[in-house]
C-alpha cells in the first residue's frame, strides 16, 4: 500500500472501518514489553479510549505524568473478500512515536505525533478471523525530535518530560484509527493549483496513482451539477463563472477522481475543494487578489479529560464561538491539528496559518520567561542539530502533503519562536524554508513566529519570511501592571524599528496576551484581573492600529489550556479569551465589539502604491 496521506473515505472502490473504541492499554516503565512478549498480548492492561490522550483519565500522579513506553492492543477482522485489495491501518496521529505490530510481527515505525501514517497489512493478516493489533508508543522528549525538550530520570527511577515549550505533553493515540481496503491500483495523492482568469478559473491538477490506467476528473458544484471535466493524470480544468472560496463565505466544489479501465471504475476518490488564490504583495495579504486582515486566535487542541485527543464536540463549539466573536482566522499552534478541523475551516470560511510541531527551539524549560529576557542558549549550535533537521524536514513534508489542498490553509508556519538571535539558526531555517517552498504547488506564504528578544536589530532570519509573525508580550512579561504605559512606548519603539528594516512585508501578531483569572475583578485593575486583560488588549490594539503594515491580530489564546505545573501557572495557561470549558471572559465581549467593527479589508493599502 502506498504511504498516501489522503483522508480515509469509503467509495464505490474503497472500504473504511472505524477501529476506535476501548482498547487495552499498559504502561511499560521498565521497558520490558518487547522482551516479555507484549507484541502479541498485554499481560495486565486497563481499558483506554481511542482516540484520546491518556494523562487526565487517571487519579494518581505517576500515571498522569508518565513518560516512556506505553502499549495499546485491540483486535480487528479482515473479511476474505478483500484478498484482492491493498489492506492497511491508518493512524491519524500517534504521539510522539509508534511501533506497530500485527499478530506479533513488527510492521511499521513512525516518528512524529501529529501527522498520519499508513501501515500496510498484506502478508501479515489472517483472513476471515481476528487479528491482533499492538502499538508501542513513546512520549519522551529529546533535543533531536520535535516538539523539543529533554527527559529527566528522577531519583526514584521515574522518567519525567521537561518540555522546552509551554503546553502539556499530552500523548497517546490522539486521533482516529481506521482499517482501509483499497484497490491494488489506486489514487495515492493529488494536488490542485488555482488560477483566476476574470470570472473564470483554471484549476491545474496532478494525480499520483499506483498504476497506468486512465485517470478522469469530474468537478461538481454544491447543487450536484457537473461543471468541468478532464482526462489524464496531469491537466487543467476550466470552471466558468466560478464561485470563489472567501473569508467567512465558503463555497466548495466536489472534485471526483476516477481510475478507469474502459468504462469500469477501478478506484474513485473525492474531495471538497474551495477555489481561491493567496499571495503576499507588498505589505498586503491577498485572498483572490483582495486584501484581508486576520482577526483571530492562536489555539490549542486541548480539552478537559480528553487532553489533546480528537474531540468533535469541542471542535464544533470552538467554531461556533469563533463565529460569534467575529473572528476569521487561527493558527494551529503548535502542531498540525486534526484533519477534521481543517475540513470545518474549509466549510466555514476560516483562514488557517498551518504550523509544524517545531516548538521548543530554545534551550529552556521556562521558555515563556527566557524568551522575554534575552537569555542566549546557543540552541542551533548543539550536536543534535543534524538529526533534528532531518526530523523537521520530514515533518514539513508530511504536513504539506496532508494539508496542501485545503482552501483554508493560507500560510505555512515552519517554527514557533526559534532562537533566531543566533547566527547558527539561519542555515538551519534556510533548509526548512527551501523544502517547504519546493513542496507547495500553490506557493503559499511561509513564516515562523518570532520570539520576544528577536528584535529588528537582533533577528538573523526574518528575511526568510513572506509574512512576519511576531509573538510579543509588552505589558505582561515585560513592563506589566502599573508600567503598562511604558510598555506601550517600548512596543511602539520596536515597531518603528521593524518599519525601517522590513519595508515590504506584512506583519501579523501571532501571539499577544495576558493571563487572567476568570473570577478576579479589581478596580483599579491589577495583573490577572479581567479588567487588566481588557486594559492590556486595548493598549495592544492602539499600537496595532497605528501601523499600516500590521495586517493581522491573533491573540494568545483562544481558551485556557493545560501546561506543566509550576509557580507561574495556576492550573495551566490562563491567557484564554474563553475558559478551558469554553465560556467567555470579559475580553470575549471586548473582542466581539472590536472585530465586528473592523472591515474585512482593514488597512487596504492598494491606493497607496
When pLDDT is averaged across residues 81-93 and rounded to a whole number, the result is: 96
Residues 68 and 205 in one domain: no
Q: Let me know if residue 154 belongs to a domain.
A: yes
Radius of gyration, CA atoms only, the chain: 24
Q: Which of 468, 590, 603, 596 is nearest to 544 (CA)?
A: 603
pLDDT band at 333 (very low <50, low <70, confident <90, very high): very high
Residues 121 and 152 in one domain: yes
**Parallel, antiparallel or unpaired: strands 550-556 and 507-511:** parallel
pLDDT band at 1 (very low <50, low <70, confident <90, very high): low
Residues classed as catalytic: 417, 511
Tell me the per-residue pLDDT of 382-423, one tens digit each, with 9 for 90 and over: 999 999 999 999 999 999 999 999 999 999 999 999 999 999
Q: What is the pLDDT of residue 567?
A: 84
Residue 363 scores a pLDDT above 90: no
Sign of CA dihedral 179, 183, 188, 189: negative
**What is the Cα–Cα distance from 277 to 279, expressed in whole angstroms?**
7
Residues 578 and 604 in one domain: yes
CATH code (residue 93) = 2.60.120.260
* Boundary of a domain, candidates 126, 156, 183: 183
pLDDT band at 368 (very low <50, low <70, confident <90, very high): low
Q: Let me know if residue 360 belongs to a domain.
A: yes
Residues 163 and 228 in one domain: no
Residues 218 and 178 in one domain: no
Q: For the chain, what is the mean pLDDT?
A: 95
Burial of 60 (0-12, 13-18, 19+ CB in 10 A): exposed
Residues 170 and 201 in one domain: no
Domain limits for position 333:
278-608
Tell me the per-residue pLDDT of 52-65, one tens digit each, with 9 for 90 and over: 999 999 999 999 99
Q: Which three cell numbers stand for residue 256?
A: 471526483
Q: Please provide the distance, in angstroms rounded to a whole number, between the alpha carbons at the two ends of the chain.
A: 52
Residue 514 scores a pLDDT above 60: yes
Tell me the per-residue pLDDT of 213-258, one tens digit each, with 9 for 90 and over: 999 999 999 999 999 999 999 999 999 999 999 999 999 999 999 9
Number of domains in the chain: 3
pLDDT band at 374 (very low <50, low <70, confident <90, very high): low
* Boundary of a domain, candidates 273, 292, 323: 273
Q: What is the pLDDT of residue 609?
A: 41
Residues 372 and 250 in one domain: no
CATH code (residue 207) = 2.60.40.10
Q: What is the pLDDT of residue 375?
A: 76
Residues 214 and 138 in one domain: no
Q: Let me know if residue 3 belongs to a domain.
A: no
Q: Let me know if residue 7 belongs to a domain.
A: no
Sign of CA dihedral 167, 172, 178, 184: positive
Tell me the per-residue pLDDT of 263-315, one tens digit each, with 9 for 90 and over: 899 999 999 999 999 999 999 999 999 999 999 999 999 999 999 999 999 99
Q: Let me know if residue 486 belongs to a domain.
A: yes
Q: Let me know if residue 228 belongs to a domain.
A: yes
Q: What is the pLDDT of residue 558?
A: 98
Q: What is the pLDDT of residue 573?
A: 94
Contacts of 438-441 spanning 24+ positions with Cβ under 8 A? 439/396, 439/397, 439/400, 439/401, 439/404, 440/400, 440/404, 440/412, 441/191, 441/192, 441/193, 441/204, 441/206, 441/404
Q: What is the pLDDT of residue 370?
A: 62
Residues 325 and 384 in one domain: yes
**Parallel, antiparallel or unpaired: strands 85-91 and 159-163:** unpaired
Residues 178 and 194 in one domain: no
Q: Let me know if residue 340 belongs to a domain.
A: yes
When pLDDT is averaged across residues 320-335 and rounded to a whole number, the result is: 97
Q: Which of 171, 236, 165, 230 is nearest to 201 (CA)?
A: 236
Residues 482 and 598 in one domain: yes
* Boundary of a domain, candidates 254, 273, 292: 273
Q: Let me know if residue 442 belongs to a domain.
A: yes
Residues 594 and 462 in one domain: yes
Helix (H, G, I), strand (E, B) or coil at 189: strand
Amino acid at each position: 500500500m502506498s504511504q498516501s496521506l489522503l483522508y480515509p473515505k469509503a467509495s464505490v472502490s474503497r472500504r473504511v472501518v472505524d477501529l476506535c473504541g476501548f482498547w487495552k492499554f499498559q504502561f511499560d516503565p521498565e521497558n520490558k514489553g518487547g522482551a516479555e512478549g507484549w507484541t502479541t498480548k498485554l499481560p495486565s492492561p486497563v481499558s483506554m479510549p481511542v482516540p484520546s490522550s491518556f494523562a487526565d483519565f487517571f487519579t494518581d500522579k505517576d500515571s498522569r505524568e508518565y513518560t516512556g513506553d506505553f502499549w495499546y492492543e485491540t483486535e480487528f477482522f479482515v473479511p476474505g473478500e478483500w484478498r484482492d485489495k491493498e489492506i492497511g491501518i491508518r493512524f491519524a496521529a500517534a504521539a510522539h512515536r509508534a511501533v506497530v505490530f500485527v499478530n506479533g510481527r513488527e510492521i511499521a515505525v513512525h516518528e512524529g505525533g501529529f501527522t498520519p501514517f499508513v501501515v500496510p497489512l498484506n502478508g501479515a493478516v489472517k483472513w476471515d478471523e481476528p487479528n491482533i493489533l499492538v502499538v508501542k508508543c513513546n512520549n519522551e522528549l529529546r533535543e533531536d525530535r520535535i516538539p523539543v525538550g529533554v527527559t529527566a530520570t528522577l531519583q526514584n527511577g521515574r522518567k519525567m518530560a521537561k518540555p522546552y515549550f509551554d503546553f502539556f505533553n499530552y500523548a497517546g493515540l490522539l486521533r482516529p484509527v481506521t482499517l482501509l481496503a483499497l484497490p491494488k491500483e489506486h489514487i495515492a495523492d493529488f494536488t490542485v493549483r488555482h488560477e483566476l482568469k476574470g470570472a473564470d478559473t483554471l484549476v491545474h491538477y496532478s494525480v499520483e496513482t499506483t498504476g497506468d490506467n486512465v485517470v478522469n476528473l469530474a468537478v461538481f458544484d454544491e447543487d450536484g451539477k457537473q461543471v468541468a471535466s478532464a482526462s489524464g493524470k496531469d491537466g487543467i480544468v476550466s470552471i466558468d463563472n466560478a464561485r470563489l472560496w472567501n473569508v467567512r463565505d465558503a463555497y466548495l466544489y466536489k472534485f471526483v477522481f476516477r481510475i478507469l479501465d474502459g468504462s469500469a471504475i477501478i478506484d474513485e476518490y473525492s474531495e471538497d475543494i474551495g477555489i481561491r488564490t493567496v499571495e503576499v504583495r507588498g505589505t498586503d495579504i491577498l485572498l483572490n487578489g483582495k486584501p484581508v486582515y486576520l482577526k483571530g486566535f492562536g489555539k490549542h487542541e486541548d480539552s478537559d479529560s480528553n487532553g489533546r485527543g480528537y474531540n468533535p464536540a469541542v471542535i464544533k463549539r470552538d467554531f461556533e464561538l469563533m463565529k460569534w466573536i467575529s473572528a476569521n482566522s487561527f493558527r494551529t499552534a503548535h502542531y498540525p491539528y486534526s484533519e477534521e478541523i481543517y475540513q470545518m475551516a474549509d466549510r466555514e470560511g476560516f483562514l488557517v496559518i498551518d504550523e509544524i510541531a517545531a516548538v521548543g527551539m530554545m534551550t529552556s524549560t521556562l521558555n515563556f520567561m527566557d524568551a522575554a529576557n534575552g537569555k542566549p542558549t546557543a540552541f542551533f549550535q548543539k550536536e543534535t542539530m543534524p538529526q533534528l533537521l532531518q526530523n523537521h524536514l520530514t515533518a514539513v513534508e508530511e504536513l504539506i502533503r496532508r494539508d496542501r489542498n485545503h482552501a483554508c490553509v493560507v500560510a505555512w508556519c515552519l517554527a514557533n519562536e526559534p532562537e533566531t538571535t543566533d547566527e547558527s539558526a539561519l542555515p538551519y531555517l534556510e533548509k526548512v524554508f527551501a523544502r517547504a517552498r519546493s513542496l507547495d504547488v500553490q506557493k503559499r506564504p511561509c513564516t515562523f513566529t518570532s520570539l520576544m528578544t528577536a528584535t529588528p536589530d537582533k533577528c538573523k532570519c526574518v528575511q526568510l519570511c513572506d509574512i512576519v509573525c511576531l509573538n510579543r508580550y509588552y505589558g505582561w512579561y515585560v513592563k506589566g501592571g502599573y508600567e503598562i504605559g511604558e510598555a506601550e512606548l517600548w512596543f511602539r519603539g520596536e515597531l518603528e524599528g521593524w518599519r525601517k528594516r522590513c519595508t515590504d512585508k506584512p506583519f501579523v501578531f501571532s501571539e499577544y496576551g495576558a493571563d487572567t483569572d476568570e473570577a478576579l475583578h479589581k478596580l483599579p485593575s491589577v495583573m490577572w484581573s479581567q479588567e487588566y486583560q481588557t486594559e492590556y488588549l486595548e493598549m495592544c490594539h492602539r499600537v496595532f492600529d497605528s501601523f499600516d503594515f500590521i495586517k493581522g491580530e491573533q491573540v494568545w489564546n483562544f481558551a485556557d489550556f493545560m501546561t506543566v505545573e509550576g509557580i507561574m501557572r495556576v492550573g495551566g495557561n490562563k491567557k484564554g479569551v474563553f475558559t478551558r470549558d469554553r465560556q467567555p471572559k470579559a475580553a470575549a465581549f471586548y473582542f466581539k465589539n472590536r472585530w465586528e467593527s473592523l472591515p474585512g479589508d482593514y488597512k487596504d493599502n492598494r491606493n497607496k502604491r
